[in-house]
Structure 1
Amino acid sequence: MSRSVIARHPHLSLAALILIWGVGYPIQKVGLAYCPPLLFAGLRAVGGGLLLALVAARRGEQPDVAGTWPALLVSALFNVLLFFALSTLSVQFLPAGIASVVLYLQPIFIAGLAHLWLGERLTRTKLAGLLLGFGGVAAIMVHGVDGVLSPAGLAYGAGAAAAWAVGTVAFKRAAPGSILWFIALPFLFGGVCILLGGAALGERWSEIAWTPTFMLVLAYGAAVGLSLSWTLWLALVAAGEASRMAGNTFLVPLVSVAAGTLFLGEPLTAMLAAGGAAVIGGVYLVNRGR
C-alpha cells in the first residue's frame, strides 16, 4: 500500500490499523505458547524487515541512509530493540488486554515529545482529550487488579510505550523519502540483535514448537502485525500531527480487550465499559480542533 493511497483514505487506513493492532496482542499470546519471547520477537522483526525490503526494492525505492542515518539508529534502538523486546516481555507477564492498555499510554508520551521537538501545539482541548483518554485507559486497567497483574509486566509495557514514542517522533522529524526502507533496515538490524540477545540469555531454538499454528501466527505477525501496520502507522503520522494520530490509538486497547475476551476468555467488566466510554470521548476531543 503506497503512501499516496493511505493519504487519500486516512480514515479507512486508521480503522485498519486499529483493527490490526487491536487483535495483535491476543495473537502474540498464542505465539508465545510455542516460542520463547525474545526469539519470537526477533523472528517477527526479521521476517517483517525482509518482506518490506523486498517490496521496497521491487518498487525501485532507494534507502536514504546517508541523509537519515541518525533517525535510523534511533528507530533501531527504540522502535525495535526496546519496543519489541519490552512489549513481548510485557505480554508474557500480563493478560493480552492489559498489556495492550499499558502499551497504548504512548499517546501521552508522543504529545509531550511532539510539543517539545516538533512544535505541535498542545491545546487545552487536545490536552483534555488526552487526559480523558488516559483516564479511560486507567479505568480499563482496574479490571486486572485482582492479583493477576505483574509489576514487571507493567514496567515492561510502560518502557515499550516510551520507546515507541521516541521512535515515532524521530521518524516525523527526519521525514524520510521511503517509509518502507525506514522500517525495513532498523527491523532487520534490530531483529538480529534481539535473536542474538535471546540466545545469550538462554533461550534455545530447540524450545520452539514449529507447529502449523505457530507458523501461521509468525507469518501473520511479520506480514500484517509488523509490515502492514507499521507502514500504515508511519504514513499516517507523516500525513498529519503525530500527537493527534497517537491520540487516535487510544481506541486500540478497546479492540484488544474485546479480542482477549472473545478469543482468550479474559473477563469483561462494567469498569471496562466505563473506561471504553472515556477513551472514545478522549479521542473525540483530540480530533475536535481539526
Structure 2
Amino acid sequence: MRDLALISRYTSRMRETVDKAGSEGVAPSPLINFAPAAFVGLWATGFIGGKLGLPYAGPLTFLLIRFIAVLLILAPLAFFMKATWPASKTDYAHTAVAGLMLHAGYLGGVFSAIHHGMSAGVVSLIVGLQPVLTAVLAAVWLKDKVTRTQWIGLTLGFIGVALVVSGKSNLTHADSMSYALALMALCSITLGTLYQKRYCPNLNLVSGAVIQYSACAVLYLLLAPLTENMQVRWTGQFIFALGWLVVVLSIASIMLLYVLIQRGAATRVTSLFYMVPPATAVMAWLIFNETMTGWALAGMALCGAGVLLVVRQPSQGDKAK
C-alpha cells in the first residue's frame, strides 16, 4: 500500500504541472540531465523494433495490434491519473485529426517504407528532418520567424538527403515506393505537429494519447483488411518487438516526456533529435548488419548539422535579423 500511495502522490504532482508545459519553476535533479538523451535513445529504437517485427505481419496489421495494445494500457492509466479531457466535441475532433497525422500517417509511412526494403537508418534520417520542415512550414502557417541560420540548416538538411539518395545508382520500383512512403511519413508528422500546436495547445499527454490512438485504431481497422491479409506469425521475435514498441516506446517514452515537461526540460529533447538517425544507423548496423555508403554517411552528417542549426537557440544576432 505504501508503494501505491507513492505512485498516487507522484501522479498527482504530475497532473498538477503537466498543463503548465514549458514551466521552468521545478528544481532540476541530477537524473533529469540524462533524461533527454534517454528519451531520444528510446525514440531511435522504434525504427529497430519495427524492422524486427515486420517480417511476421504487414505494417498496418502490426500497427493496428500496437494501437489496440497501447489503448488497453493507457485508457486505465488515464482514469487512474484523473487526466483532464477535451472540453468540447470540436477539441476531441482536433485531437483525433492531429493523432491521425502524428501516428497513423507517420508510423504507417515509416513501417511501410521499411516493409518495402528501406533500411532503418535511412528511414530515420528522412523523417529526422521533421524539425527542419516544421520550422519552414511554421513560418508560413503560424507566422513564426525563420532565421538565416535556420535557412542554412534547412539547405544542409535537404542536401544531406540528396546525398543519401544519390548513393543508390539504380532506384528500383520498390526503392521509389519506400522513399515516397518515408516522405509521406515526414510530411505527416510535420503537419500533425503544426496542427496540434495550432488547434490543441492545451492537450493533456495521456488523455490526448488515448483519443489519438483510438482514432488510429479505427482507421486501421478499415484500411488493414483492404490492403493486407492481416495474417500474423506470433513468433518470439514478433512478440518481443511488439512488447518493446508498446511498453517502451508508446508508454515509457510518453511517461518520460511527461516528467521532462514537469521538470521544464522538454525543450532539451528537441536539441538532441539530430542524434536519432546516427543512433538508429549504429543500432541497425549492430543488429541487422545494415551498412551505408560514404555518400550516405556524408549525407547523414549534413542532415545532423542542418537539424542542429534549426533547433538550436538563436543568438541575439539571429533574433535581430
**Common fold, TM-score beyond 0.5?**
yes
**1:252-282 residue CA offsets vs partner (Å, 9 max, x unmatched):** 1111111111110111443344334324433
Higher radius of gyration, 1 or 2: 2
Counterpart among 51, 54, 65 of residue 32 in structure 1: 54
Q: How far is 1:57 from its partner?
A: 1.5
**1:176 corresponds to:** 202
Counterpart among 155, 159, 163 of residue 184 in structure 2: 159
Give 3-state SS (helix, strand or coil) of 2:107's partner. Answer: helix
**2:125 corresponds to:** 101
Give 3-state SS (helix, strand or coil) of 1:33's partner. Answer: helix
Say if 2:190 is the partner of 1:185: no
**2:138 corresponds to:** 114
Going from structure 1 to structure 2, the CA distance change for 1:121 and 1:55 (only over 3 Å counts) comes to same
Q: How far is 1:129 from its partner?
A: 2.2
**1:56 corresponds to:** 78
CA RMSD of aligned residues (A): 3.3
Counterpart among 84, 91, 112 of residue 68 in structure 1: 91
Gaps of 5+ in 1: none
* Percent of matched pairs sharing the same residue: 24
Give 3-state SS (helix, strand or coil) of 2:275's partner. Answer: helix
**1:79 corresponds to:** 102
Is the contact made by 1:6 and 1:232 (CA closer than 8 Å) also made in structure 2? no
Query: What is the identity, as a one-letter code, of the residue corresponding to 1:75?
Result: A
Say if 2:247 is the partner of 1:223: yes
Task: Report the Cα distance in structure 2 between the residues aligned to 1:211 and 1:80, rounded to whole angstroms.
Answer: 25
Q: How far is 1:72 from its partner?
A: 1.1
Going from structure 1 to structure 2, the CA distance change for 1:129 and 1:230 (only over 3 Å counts) comes to farther
Going from structure 1 to structure 2, the CA distance change for 1:69 and 1:175 (only over 3 Å counts) comes to same
**1:30-66 residue CA offsets vs partner (Å, 9 max, x unmatched):** 1011112111011112222332222222111121151
Is the contact made by 1:43 and 1:195 (CA closer than 8 Å) also made in structure 2? no
Query: What is the identity, as a one-letter code, of the residue corresponding to 2:283?
Result: A
Task: Report the Cα distance in structure 2 between the residues aligned to 1:65 and 1:191, rounded to whole angstroms.
Answer: 23
Query: What is the identity, as a one-letter code, of the residue corresponding to 1:200?
Result: L
Q: How far is 1:160 from its partner?
A: 1.0
Query: What is the identity, as a one-letter code, of the residue corresponding to 2:206?
Result: L
Going from structure 1 to structure 2, the CA distance change for 1:151 and 1:121 (only over 3 Å counts) comes to same
Counterpart among 41, 44, 49 of residue 19 in structure 1: 41
**1:238-257 residue CA offsets vs partner (Å, 9 max, x unmatched):** 97999x97675332111111
**2:238 corresponds to:** 214
Is the contact made by 1:42 and 1:194 (CA closer than 8 Å) also made in structure 2? yes
Say if 2:270 is the partner of 1:257: no
Task: Report the Cα distance in structure 1 between the residues aligned to 2:248 and 2:232, rounded to whole angstroms.
Answer: 21
Is the contact made by 1:63 and 1:181 (CA closer than 8 Å) also made in structure 2? yes
Q: In terms of mean alpha carbon deviation, does 154-163 or 47-56 score higher?
A: 47-56
Going from structure 1 to structure 2, the CA distance change for 1:161 and 1:284 (only over 3 Å counts) comes to closer
Task: Report the Cα distance in structure 1 between the residues aligned to 2:110 and 2:296, rounded to whole angstroms.
Answer: 22
**1:89-137 residue CA offsets vs partner (Å, 9 max, x unmatched):** 1111112112222222322321122223333221111222232233334
Is the contact made by 2:39 and 2:269 (CA closer than 8 Å) also made in structure 1? no
Going from structure 1 to structure 2, the CA distance change for 1:103 and 1:181 (only over 3 Å counts) comes to same
Is the contact made by 1:97 and 1:253 (CA closer than 8 Å) also made in structure 2? yes
Going from structure 1 to structure 2, the CA distance change for 1:89 and 1:127 (only over 3 Å counts) comes to same
Q: How far is 1:69 from its partner?
A: 2.3
Query: What is the identity, as a one-letter code, of the residue corresponding to 1:175?
Result: P
Is the contact made by 1:103 and 1:158 (CA closer than 8 Å) also made in structure 2? yes
Going from structure 1 to structure 2, the CA distance change for 1:5 and 1:288 (only over 3 Å counts) comes to closer
Task: Report the Cα distance in structure 1 between the residues aligned to 2:59 and 2:203, rounded to whole angstroms.
Answer: 33
Task: Report the Cα distance in structure 1 between the residues aligned to 2:223 and 2:144, rounded to whole angstroms.
Answer: 37
Task: Report the Cα distance in structure 2 between the residues aligned to 1:140 and 1:64, rounded to whole angstroms.
Answer: 42
